[in-house]
Amino acid sequence: MIVIAAAWIALLLAGGGFALDRVLVSAVTRNFDDQLEYVLTALIVSAEIGPDGEVRFSREAADQRFIEPYSGLYWEVSAPGHEDFTSRSMWDRRLAYGSQHTDLKVHAYDSTQFDDEKLRVTERDVTLPGSAVRWRFQVAQRTDGLDAQVAVLRRTLIRSFALLALGLIVLAALQTFYGLWPLRKVREEIARMRAGQSNRLTRAMPDEVAPMVEELNALVAHNERQAEEARRHAGNLAHALKTPLTVIMNAATANADDLGDTVIREARTMRRQVDHHLARARAVGRRGSAHSRAAVWPSLESVERAVARLYRHVRIDVDGPKTLSVHVERQDLDEMLGNLIENAAKYGGGSVFVTVGAQAGFVEFLIEDDGVGIPEEQRVRIFDRGARLDSGKPGTGLGLAIVRDVAEIYEGTVSLEESEDLGGLMVRLRLPAAT
């Protein structure tokens, strides 16, 4: 950041300095030319033609340098085919007469016609009264003074702009250093958290950094919640597996006659527990993605096809908008809908109706069947792990429990009601909509 700022400052000041140099040098040169033009005009005004056709002046130029040889200030009046009239300061030298152009207006230019002097020449062609000849009036001055002024001006510009560049670069460096200083504090706070000295970023931060600190604290809290959930699930799973393992070990130690049946029965119990906790763990892990999103209709069609192949005698109808999406991973959405629709097909009378719609920031799924339904007093207990009302049909009793747990992970809900249209059970599943 400092290098880029320094380069940009240097580029801007170089461009600005060059432009300012051009403007100031032009102004100084124009002022120098104005002085020469003033002398030239005075010469023209005082010039007249004598009896012999010579040019003479009604008053001499007031500047003493015009009578000092090689003083650096000269005038000359000349015309082709006529004698040149010059100031005494010219001595034995003459100014060049350029015949390629006509100077009806004042013309100023630099000249190096004298080897030891660089001149600034101002000239103009004038026809004097009483003369048919066009005379060229020229005033020239050595540019030593002009060059000295320009040199002083440029030194002042360079020094001023260099000092300005240094000040701006130092300011940019200080601004960058102190502007990024809060990030060093954040790094120190994170180091303290890693060392176990704190569990949050608690130091006061500037307003520009405070939102990032809040997000970091929220991320830490989220990770802590996930870690706590993982520990709790591990503890629950260990507790759930402890009893079946104890039963198997006791039966094996006692050489019980029904050891085989006992192992099979308890292994099924452990498998149900493992399936349940694995499903919940997968959902918790995927919930961390802020981009979790699944289209509703493709998931419904996929589940409907799978269930229809298992229960060919069941008619499954699906209705609702086809553009809805939910903030749920596709795999979890398939698992929830699969459990609910399969239960409706398994325990219903042959008809399943699925309705999907949007309502107040949620996508609502209504899964209805024409079975015998579930008594209201048993609708809460049916969500318990392993709870089954019809033990005559195959199953683990974990379907509704998994649906409830996964829905709650995504901040959704699931409830059981009576279907008014089909007369059986209606499951209402609500999941957050993805806009």
Sequence-ordered list of residues with C-beta below 8 angstroms from that of 307, at least 6 positions apart, any chain? 314, 316, 338, 341, 342, 345, 352
Helices (H), 254-329: 259-287, 296-310
Residue 384 confidence (pLDDT)? 59
Compute mean pLDDT per 10 residues along the chain, 435 residues long, and list them.
Answer: 92 94 94 93 89 82 87 91 88 83 84 89 89 90 92 94 94 89 87 85 83 88 79 72 84 84 84 72 57 88 92 92 91 89 89 93 93 78 53 48 83 89 90 88
Longest Cα–Cα distance of the chain, Å, equals 159
Q: How many angstroms separate the CA atoms of 343 and 330, rounded?
A: 20
For the chain, counts of helices (H) and of strands (E): 8, 14
| Rg value, the chain, Cα | 50
**Are the C-beta atoms of 39 and 139 separated by less than 8 Å?**
yes
- Closest-CA residue to 430 (of 327, 280, 330): 327
The rounded distance, in Å, linking the Cα atoms of 109 and 122 is: 7
What type of residue is 286? R
* Coil vs helix vs strand at 128: coil
C-alpha distances out from residue 414 to 3, 19, 105, 420, 432, Å = 59, 74, 98, 18, 12
Size (the chain), residues: 435
Q: What is the pLDDT of residue 293?
A: 86
Q: Report the side by side order of strands in the sheet with 425-432.
A: 315-319, 351-359, 362-369, 425-432, 413-418
Instruction: Write b or e for each residue in 205-233: b if 16 or more Cβ atoms lie within 10 A of its Cβ, otherwise e.
Output: beeebeeebeebbeeeeeeeeeeebeeeb
The answer to whether 85 and 78 have CB atoms below 8 angstroms apart is yes
* Rounded distance between C-alpha atoms, residue 126 and residue 77, angstroms: 10
Q: What are phi and psi of 252, to 5 degrees?
A: -70, -40
Note the pLDDT of residue 388: 44
**Rounded CA separation 40/370 (Å):** 117
Q: Which amino acid is located at 404 in the chain? A: R
Please give the single-letter amino acid code of residue 320.
G
CA proximity to 350, closest of 337, 374, 369: 369
- Sequence-distant (≥ 6) Cβ neighbours of residue 429 within 8 angstroms: 336, 337, 340, 364, 365, 367, 403, 407, 412, 413, 414
Neighbours of 8 (CB within 10 A): 13
The per-residue pLDDT for 396 is 38
Name the helix (H) or strand (E) containing 365: strand 362-369
Q: What pLDDT does residue 389 have?
A: 44
